[in-house]
Amino acid sequence: MRSAQPALVRRDPAPTPRAAPESAEPQTTNAAPRAINRFEELVALADEKRDLNTRTALERDVRLVRFEDGRLEISLEPGASKALAGDLSRKLSDWTGRRWMVVVSAEAGAPTLKAQADERRQELQHGVKADPLVQAVLARFPGAQIVGVQARGDAKRARHAHGAATGRTAGR
């Protein structure tokens, strides 16, 4: 028969509480403060930060009422998120290193950036359609339609982007 050996129990002393380091303050982004002077710069910043949802919301859901660095007064489109103002305030503060106040106004504000771009596109298409040469082509080919119009600078940029995407350069 074996003799039972007494179990050794080792007791560690109770852990002593450690004092938190003196510099244990909430960590904040130490981004250098960045000034934004125009609403379009704000949209470009969202694009730079690769925040597609915010950029899209700024273009489609926000009607600008007033803008100054650190303060954004907007009106929202009917389908916009109710949390958009709070989200914008938080993100802008994080991105710029400064506090931003985003206020939803009762004023109607300017048309959205998307509505403004659509209006410019419509005006361009109407201008092209009024051109006598284009009217002659449309008369010669019944049923023909203008399906898209680009300004010359836009067409060059589109060709260049297409060439870069396919590995070809546009030498035109």
Domains for the chain: give ranges and CATH numbers: 39-104 (3.30.300), 131-166 (no CATH)
Query: Do 101 and 89 form a contact (C-beta atoms < 8 A)?
Result: yes
Q: Average pLDDT of the chain?
A: 79
Q: What residue spans of the chain are helical by DSSP H?
A: 39-48, 52-60, 84-96, 113-129, 132-140, 152-166
**Which neighbouring-strand residues pair with 161?**
none
pLDDT of 74 reads: 94
> Given the structure tokens 């449309």, which residue do they identify?
138
Residue 26 in tokens? 């909430």
What single DSSP character describes residue 72? E
Residues 6+ apart with CB under 8 A from 57: 80, 81, 84, 88
Task: Examine the pLDDT at 30 and tell me if it is beyond 80.
Answer: no
Reduced DSSP (H G I as helix, E B as strand, rest coil) percent helix, strand, coil of the chain, to 5 = 40, 10, 50
Query: Looking at residues 8-13, what average pLDDT do you find?
Result: 53
pLDDT of 126 reads: 87
- Rounded to 5 degrees, φ, ψ at 63 are -105, 120
Select from 113, 120, 118, 121 the least CA-distant residue to 63. 113
Residue 38 carries which side chain, given as an amino acid letter?
Answer: R
Query: Looking at residues 89-115, what average pLDDT do you find?
Result: 93
Residue bearing the bigger pLDDT, 81 or 27? 81
- Cβ neighbours of 64 (radius 10 Å): 20
Sign of CA dihedral 91, 93, 95, 96: positive
**Which neighbouring-strand residues pair with 145?**
none
